[in-house]
Amino acid sequence: MRLVFFGPPGCGKGTYASRVGARLGIPQISTGDMFRSEAAANTELGKLAQLYMKDGKLVPDDVTISMLRERIQKDDCKKGFILDGFPRTIAQMHVLERITHIDLVINFSLDEEIIMEKALARRCCEKCGDIYNVADINRNGIHMPPLLPKKEGICDKCGSRVIQRKDDTYEIIKGRQDLYWKQSEPLLAYYKKKEMVKDVPVIGPPDVMVPMIIDVINKGIKE
């Protein structure tokens, strides 16, 4: 099963991808996490990516595409994968189409005001990228309680430090939103024309969303 999780930055797709992937037994492939761990390991690729990431800009297509291409050829991708944060440009989408077949695109939507509030409250494991959130949102039928690690500041999954990402400031988050609407959202028109898209409005915490998403995937695959 090869899936793309799509949606504005901060809509929660990384969290859903990690949990849905675990439930379906397929890896979550997050280009953002890959760039961050390269940067943490201070590799040439990481240093290059960091030049763009620190300002919320996209890493150049050739770099991103070759990293992704290598990743999806690994053994753990034989049963499928969930792409999280890729493709983000028309060029990335066309390359993806040439190198593999995508079954479904899950398109998440969430009001920008809530995204901003949540994004500023986002915390992230510096090693494995696991995501937590300190915001407590309850309005307009949307209920998102905080998502905290069991032990404050320590990742549940790997025991590393949970931090606020350097690129999670108001200006950079807003910039990433604008970039999404300009560069990434247009990909949806193309995927919609091919009837690959399932829309999923974000209305609650992961515990509510994950079973909903799995249901949408199971139905979408059968169609």
CB of 161 to ligand ADP, least distance (A): 17
Radius of gyration of the chain (CA): 17
- Point out which span in 20-28, 31-39, 73-81, 140-148 binds ligand ADP (CB under 6 A): 31-39
For 155, other C-beta atoms within 10 Å of its C-beta total: 23
CB of 152 to ligand ADP, least distance (A): 23
Question: Which one is catalytic: 13, 36, 118, 123?
Answer: 13
Interaction with ligand ADP in 166-195: which residues (CB under 6 A)? 176
Q: Which does 128 bind (CB under 5 to 8 A by kind): Zn ion, ligand ADP, none?
A: Zn ion
Upstream peptide bond of 8 is cis (omega within 30 degrees of 0): no
Contacts of 87 (CB under 8 A, 6+ apart): 4, 93, 95, 96, 187
Cβ–Cβ < 8 Å for 19, 210: yes
Among 1, 58, 128, 135, which residue sits at the site for ligand ADP (rule: CB under 6 A)? 58
Contacts of 159 (CB under 8 A, 6+ apart): none
Residue 115: enclosing H or E segment and its boundaries? helix 112-120
Question: Closest CB to ligand ADP among 70 and 215?
Answer: 70
Give contact residues for Zn ion (rule: CB under 5 A): 125, 127-128, 130, 155, 157-158, 160
Give contact residues for ligand ADP (rule: CB under 6 A): 9-10, 31-32, 35, 52-53, 56-59, 64, 85-86, 88, 92, 176
Which residues are marked as active site?
A: 13, 88, 122, 165, 176
